[in-house]
Structure 1
Amino acid sequence: METADLRPAIRLAAMDLLARREHSRTELLQKLGRRFEDRETIAEVLDGLAQDKLQSDSRYAESFARQRVLRGHGPLRLRQEMRQKGIPDDDASVALESLDVDWEQLAREVCQKKFGFGAPADFREKARRQRFLQYRGFSADQIAACLPW
């Protein structure tokens, strides 16, 4: 197939992916790159989709951040995952700021859901809880605010 013939097929494949959920530009490049060899044409089609406001990294970042907060993930993990998905740092920052989340309260809720309401029995248990919250993407200040002593 010639490049001109591929554009409608690439656009249709991209629209099929976007109909299921939001995707970042990087994700679409990867997924479409498995089906179509001409990366330049894929990039042109994605530019057209972005221009038509059918694909937006900022919209994807907001949706992604909301989903991850509902799962109990902290801001550090969210930012890292967005980088891995190819979201620009400024879009990630705007998405995180738009959430209006009390990160310390979220860390407290995540910790209580996993470990219950009691205080850690000893230093080893406290360290275990700290590691868990750190893995979830909470900062040292947020962890300290939710763990007693």
Structure 2
Amino acid sequence: MFDEQDPPTPKRRGRRVEQTPIQRALGLLVRREHSRNELTRKLTARGIEREDAEAAVDKLAQAGWQDEERFAHSLVRNRAAAGYGPLHIRAELGMHRLPEELVRQAMDDYDGDWADNARDLVRRRFAGGLDDPTRRRKAADLLARRGFGGDLVGQVLRGTGQDWDDQA
């Protein structure tokens, strides 16, 4: 089948061409939005000098590939859809070192209803209802851990009594 005189075809070695800082940053941005701080941190963690990383992020921001406002709005939408409350999301935005005005704007622009999000989360996790005080406490703990404030937790739990099936 194979002729012994034919040399084997050379295997391709997985030599990677060294990427520039801009190429690496762009590779991260095509997957999801990143804040400037997060993008710079990831680039420096991959061995890129801080000055080069910051310059790459600046160029991508000028070209419109990286945008803090777009990142903030995206994070709010994604975390709210995943069942997190406003306190958790605001804290996460703060960890990205975004300006307070931008954080406030992104939170204000969210068009969902935090109470509905909390109710949906409780319904998914406690499908049998909250008649038992232990289950109500566990639901309250869940909402608090997820970043829903005490007033909102109380409002949601007061509204999820005997009429549990009617609200679904």
State the TM bucket, normalised to the shorter chain.
0.7 to 0.9
Structure 2 CA distance, aligned partners of 1:101 and 1:117? 25
Aligned length: 141
Q: Report deviation, 1:144.
A: 0.7
Q: Report deviation, 1:127.
A: 2.0
1:31 counterpart = 2:22: no
Q: Report deviation, 1:118.
A: 2.4
Higher helix content, 1 or 2: 1
Instruction: Look up the SS of the partner of 1:144 in the other structure.
Output: helix
Q: Report deviation, 1:73.
A: 0.9
2:136 aligned to which of 126, 130, 145? 126
Counterpart for residue 123 of structure 2: 112
Aligned positions of 1:10-21 closer than 5 A: 10-21=21-32
Q: How does the TM-score come out when normalised to structure 2?
A: 0.76
Instruction: Give the structure, 1 or 2, with the largest relative contact order (CA under 8 Å, sep 6 or more).
Output: 1
1:146 counterpart = 2:141: no
Structure 1 unaligned blocks of 5 or more: 1-7
Counterpart for residue 10 of structure 2: none
Cα-to-partner distance string for 1:44-103 (whole Å, 9 max, x where unaligned): 221122122210111011111111111111100111112223333222221121111211
Counterpart for residue 20 of structure 2: 9
1:23·1:60 contact (CA, 8 Å) conserved in 2? yes
2:21·2:48 contact (CA, 8 Å) conserved in 1? no
